[in-house]
Structure 1
Amino acid sequence: MVYIVCLTTGVLLAAIMKGTVWICCLLSLLLLQATADGEITSKPMVLFLGPWSVGKSSMINYLLGLHDSPYQLYTGAEPTTSEFTVIMHGEKIRSVEGIVMAADSSRSFSPLEKFGQNFLEKLIGIEMPHKLLERVTFVDTPGIIENRKQQERGYPFNDVCQWFIDRADLIFVVFDPTKLDVGLELEMLFKQLKGRESQIRIILNKADNLATQDLMRVYGALFWSLAPLINVTEPPRVYVSSFWPYDYAPDTSRELFKREEISLLEDLNQVIENRMENKIAFIRQHGIRVRIHGLLVDRYVQTFKEKMSFFSDPELVFQEIVDDPDKFYIFKSILAKTNVSKFDLPNRDAYRDFFGINPITSFKPLSAQCSYIGGCLLDKIEKAITTELPALLSSINSGKQPGLSSCEVTGCGEKPKNRYRKN
């Protein structure tokens, strides 16, 4: 099984790594429980979040040119999207049930099975032969309804959102000028977005419903509402327009809306162009986590062996170490090593659960994983993190082709309808 994982994971980088495919195999082996192989080889994911009926589904219909076609996502003034809808490329137009998506290990959605069958009934995939979908996957989410409690949905809504947030390359948080109130659900959403500010784009949709002066007031009110939730020096980019295939309302900022729309398409194109770099960074990020986890487990094992004596009770010794790791300098000793940030250290309480599933006596010290010919496993991970993967990124950036124009982002042939001509 591990050999197959190594082969399939190596597909992404084998053509350009020139003999360093072992890095992928090593990381895929160590991360087999943490990330599915389909996540490594998947297309960039664009996630649409926001309150209900703000135009998320309409925006996807517009970007894919699905308006007035039999395949458009259903839209309306009331809350209409109750499922997580994944729009992806396929040879023909068809829908895929969530239980099928989760059961297919070749897809990147098999880990969603852990959220239960109730959620899988609320997950649906739509495949269609579209040029843009050959390069990117869209995910439409249920609108946030402030008066609905999470348990009423029948599945852990926030946990599911976090799963998609962690894997999204671009996150559009869509707002309606008439729905700027921030409630508990929206506040929780932005807490989940912490650390992903570089991927967030704020969309002020349906902007042509307002006169220019009113639009300026709403723009200010939006920032005032979101300021406590986005605690960063540089706020996310805000796009102001109306993303649907009809002409703008008269006496509105038409030229501004056009430029904003072009900028958004260029932004989307940039994410697609940076796909390879993002995947390599994704592998390196998980490699860092694996390295830290390996060092911590090794330190727990060493401490346990040092404290054990002939008359010691293994359960009591283990419990003492897990309950108070600071007493034995477990985490501080890891920080003393090079290239370890305190901000990357996992929650120490997580190791109580970890060792509850994986007995500490089942682990060997890292030094036992070294051989004269093969070297040490951890040294290979260290070399991948510090040398091989950064060098690979540099080689890709040095040979990068000039960017596509904004009109080419949709695949040179299938693009949003010309909204500036009335239908």
Structure 2
Amino acid sequence: MMIVVLLLRSVQPAEISPLGRLQPIPRREEIKIEDKISKDESLDLRDIDKEYFYYELKKLYKRKMLPLELSSQFGHFASPPLGPADFDAKPMVLLLGQYSVGKTSFIRSLIGRDFPGQRIGPEPTTDRFVAVMHGDQDRSIPGNALAMRSDKPFAGLQGFGNRFLEKFQGAELDVPILQNITLIDTPGILSGEKQRIGRDYDFQTVVQWFAERSDLIILMFDAHKLDISDELRLAIDALRPHYTKVRVLLNKADTISPQQLLRVYGALMWQLGRVMATPEVVRVHLGAFSKSNENFFNAYGQPQYTPDSYQSRAYYPNQPVQQNSFAHLLITERHDLLEELRLLPANAVLRKINDLSKRGRFLKVHCFLIHFLRKQMPYFFAKEDKRRQLMQNLHHEFAACAHRYGLSLGDFPNVDHFRTALGQVKDLRAFPKLDKSQVVEMDRMFAHDISKLLDKASSSKKLNKKVSSSFIPPPPATFQHQHLPPQQPPQHHNPLNLQHFDGER
């Protein structure tokens, strides 16, 4: 009797060759550009030619990522293609919270003055999204005009329709801090299902669009109103892929006593633990950003005590910065938050690379997923039945696709969102066949091309002695919260006007 022993070992996923034999797929390089940058201790991302780097990064995206996005309709399922303004845009700070928590007052405290379209009050005042930007003169820009400007990163908002653009506007003013960052004020989130349904646009989707493009998201709460409404819960859920950008600000902390603040802080953490299902603890800042407190903080955040509040240990309700020890806590928290804002321009390059790398991983998964579903569709008969079967079993199809092509399930999209978008596609066979060489080129872009580009941009900056380094923020000792130094791009490169990427191959 002959005994045949079969040795089973794990093999890579296989492709079917023209002869019908299984051929293993070559192992592709993983996108780990962040690891390459972190290991290169000699490379300072602040000391590079940013204008040259962004220009070359646009060309890499247009040549190696955009064709995949257009052929797989990535914009329909996830995010529309990027344009030149998305690369050149200043760091964006998104403010979210319920009504009258102090979002507009926070912006006014940062810039040190009123801005066009500002409305502050105890009732729900801000009824629209306001982009506070730098400009030569004070003016308000309607949403439709702002979305059509090629030099602003808001062209993607045209997809939300005219009803949303009527609730969107820009405010330009000549303030030094706005030369480095852009602030996004949002409508106050109301309580109740009726108010949520009454909006003329999908608030959650709009918040998700801004969150994807923001460098920092400040989620504000009022010390007197800690309840989380249904719409706020949906907005926080839209921030789930971007929790690393979220900072929670407990505003109006100066209006309660230290003992009450301790209880309020614990209640807020308990509420956030129920909504933000993450093992990491979100950073919570304490704040006193209101118009009445502006005269009690100098440029670095030191208080100017009145004679009574300097010596007294009593608690005076509704008085700014009452006690010495309590004021020191608020000053420290204020400094920590302003320090994060100060470092945003310096870390802009790394964030651009990180966001593009994340987009590349999602795009790679999307391309293989569409390719995997397309191959299962029949050519002639029973197309609708097979399409309905695939949509019902998307969980199984996701797992099979991940195993087939060696992908990570963590990079797959939300099943419900993908099913909704897939339901609007009439024929999966209409997608062109996936060119896997393009995926390999995109992987090579993150594995090699961007690292080489960083080296070239750094060398170009060192060789040019005329380039000003004033865009690098000063040390904390000279930092003033309302006067961030302007970011001045180098002048030795002639700016080249690229055509918008949308619709190009």
- Hey, what does 2:93 align to over in structure 1? 46
C-alpha distance 209-353 of structure 1, shift in aligned 2 (>3 A) = closer
- Hey, what does 1:388 align to over in structure 2? 449
What TM-score results when the alignment is normalised by the length of structure 1? 0.80
C-alpha distance 206-397 of structure 1, shift in aligned 2 (>3 A) = farther
Is 1:246–2:295 an aligned residue pair? yes
Deviations 1:323-342 (A, max 9, x none): 4667996751443434x211
Q: Distance in 2 between matches of 1:24 and 1:313?
A: 38
Structure 1 counterpart of 2:153, from 102, 108, 127: 108
Deviates more, 1:20-29 or 1:32-41: 20-29
Instruction: Give the superposition deviation at 1:126.
Output: 0.3
Deviations 1:134-172 (A, max 9, x none): 111100111111035212122222222222122221111
- 2:268 match: secondary structure: helix
- Hey, what does 1:74 align to over in structure 2? 119
Structure 1 counterpart of 2:163, from 115, 118, 138: 118
Is 1:25–2:93 an aligned residue pair? no
Gaps of 5+ in 2: 1-48, 297-319, 463-468, 487-505
Instruction: Give the superposition deviation at 1:243.
Output: 1.5
Aligned pair count reads 389
Q: CA RMSD in A?
A: 3.4
User: Is the 1:51–1:144 Cα contact (8 Å) retained in structure 2?
Assistant: yes
Is 1:222–2:292 an aligned residue pair? no
With CA pairs under 8 Å and 6+ residues apart, which has the higher RCO, 1 or 2?
A: 2
Deviations 1:371-405 (A, max 9, x none): xxxxx222101212344346667998999998643
Q: Distance in 2 between matches of 1:113 and 1:299?
A: 32
User: Is the 1:48–1:141 Cα contact (8 Å) retained in structure 2?
Assistant: yes
- 1:96 match: secondary structure: strand
Q: Distance in 1 between matches of 2:395 and 2:123?
A: 56
- Hey, what does 1:157 align to over in structure 2? 203
User: Is the 2:342–2:484 Cα contact (8 Å) retained in structure 1?
Assistant: no
- The residue type equivalent to 1:57 in the other structure is T
Instruction: Give the superposition deviation at 1:242.
Output: 0.6
Is 1:365–2:433 an aligned residue pair? yes
C-alpha distance 176-325 of structure 1, shift in aligned 2 (>3 A) = closer
Find the structure with the greater CA-based Rg.
2
C-alpha distance 377-75 of structure 1, shift in aligned 2 (>3 A) = same
User: Is the 1:326–1:332 Cα contact (8 Å) retained in structure 2?
Assistant: no
User: Is the 1:104–1:110 Cα contact (8 Å) retained in structure 2?
Assistant: yes
C-alpha distance 353-188 of structure 1, shift in aligned 2 (>3 A) = closer
Q: Distance in 1 between matches of 2:266 and 2:160?
A: 38
- Hey, what does 2:357 align to over in structure 1? 284
Q: Distance in 1 between matches of 2:426 and 2:52?
A: 33
Gaps of 5+ in 1: 1-10, 371-375, 415-423
- 1:190 match: secondary structure: helix
C-alpha distance 334-246 of structure 1, shift in aligned 2 (>3 A) = same
Is 1:62–2:109 an aligned residue pair? yes
Instruction: Give the superposition deviation at 1:321.
Output: 6.3
- 1:214 match: secondary structure: helix
Instruction: Give the superposition deviation at 1:13.
Output: 7.1
C-alpha distance 412-83 of structure 1, shift in aligned 2 (>3 A) = closer
Instruction: Give the superposition deviation at 1:123.
Output: 0.6
Structure 2 counterpart of 1:313, from 356, 381, 384: 381
Deviations 1:173-224 (A, max 9, x none): 1111111122222222222222322111111111111222222222222212
Is 1:405–2:487 an aligned residue pair? no
- The residue type equivalent to 2:86 in the other structure is E
What TM-score results when the alignment is normalised by the length of structure 2? 0.68
Deviations 1:50-70 (A, max 9, x none): 11111110110010011xx57
Instruction: Give the superposition deviation at 1:17.
Output: 8.8
Structure 2 counterpart of 1:274, from 338, 341, 347: 347
